[in-house]
Amino acid sequence: MAERTQTERPLGDLGRRLAARRAQLGLSRRETAARAGMTSSYLKHLEEHPGAAPDRGALLSLAAALETTVSELTGGATDLPPGLEQAAHTPEFTELSPDECRSLLGPHGMGRIALSTASGPVVVPVNYSVVDGAIVFRTASGTTPSLAAGRPVAFEVDRIDDAFSRGWSVLVRGRARAVTDPDEAHRLAESAYSRPWAGGGRDLWVRVEQQAVTGRRIAV
């Protein structure tokens, strides 16, 4: 990713999606353009000009180069559930090692916290960070995620690639606790990456220690 510099400022929905998908695959602009059979200056134009309107041929080339679909690049799949494509002809199912699982968790992202409540089990999405090996997220008192404190929980992240009918999932199990020490809360605020996308006042930190971590991958 040496080509990526501070002067790159993806703008518009298409530009942000192109840049985000490149980052997921670890591709530079130059590499992506070569895969798509276009100049890197044209790809730069698409990423940095919100009004850019590539024809369908260019979009198909970019989708193939980025191993995704035109719908994903243009936002047409935003309100659709993942996994609508058919299974691949020769899928390979494998268990992930703990090290692979922790690598896929990465330093931050979006995951799902599963817990039991008085009305039954629930699963809700949260923006998380990994700090000192623990899953941490910020929420507000009285919300569903805050009910995880003091309980055994499961935390899951996954990635689905509809274009190739492949993906992976990582499951962390552990006990959650509310962070009540002001110094620890301040340290988490300083070191954690992800802010809650939901916005609003969310000053309660919840920490999930990893007691068990497992994962699976479906490859083609």
Q: Is CATH 3.40.50.1110 the right assignment for the domain spanning 12-74?
A: no
pLDDT at residue 6 above 50?
no
pLDDT at 89 over 70: yes
Q: Look up the CATH superfamily of 92-219.
A: Electron Transport, Fmn-binding Protein; Chain A (2.30.110.10)
Given this model, what pLDDT does residue 85 score? 67
Pairing of strands 92-96, 134-139: unpaired
Residues of the chain with CATH 2.30.110.10: 92-219
Q: What is the CA radius of gyration of the chain?
A: 20
Residue 96 has pLDDT above 90, yes or no: yes
The pLDDT of 173-192, averaged and rounded, is 92
User: How much is the average pLDDT of 56-76?
Assistant: 88
C-alpha span between 168 and 143 (Å, rounded): 29
Q: Look at residue 125 and give its three-state secondary structure.
A: strand
What pLDDT shows up at residue 71?
Answer: 83
Please list the residue range(s) of the chain that carry CATH number 1.10.260.40: 12-74
Question: pLDDT: is 132 or 11 the higher one?
Answer: 132
- This model's pTM is above 0.85: no
What mean pLDDT, rounded, does the chain reach? 87
Per-residue pLDDT for 47 more than 50? yes
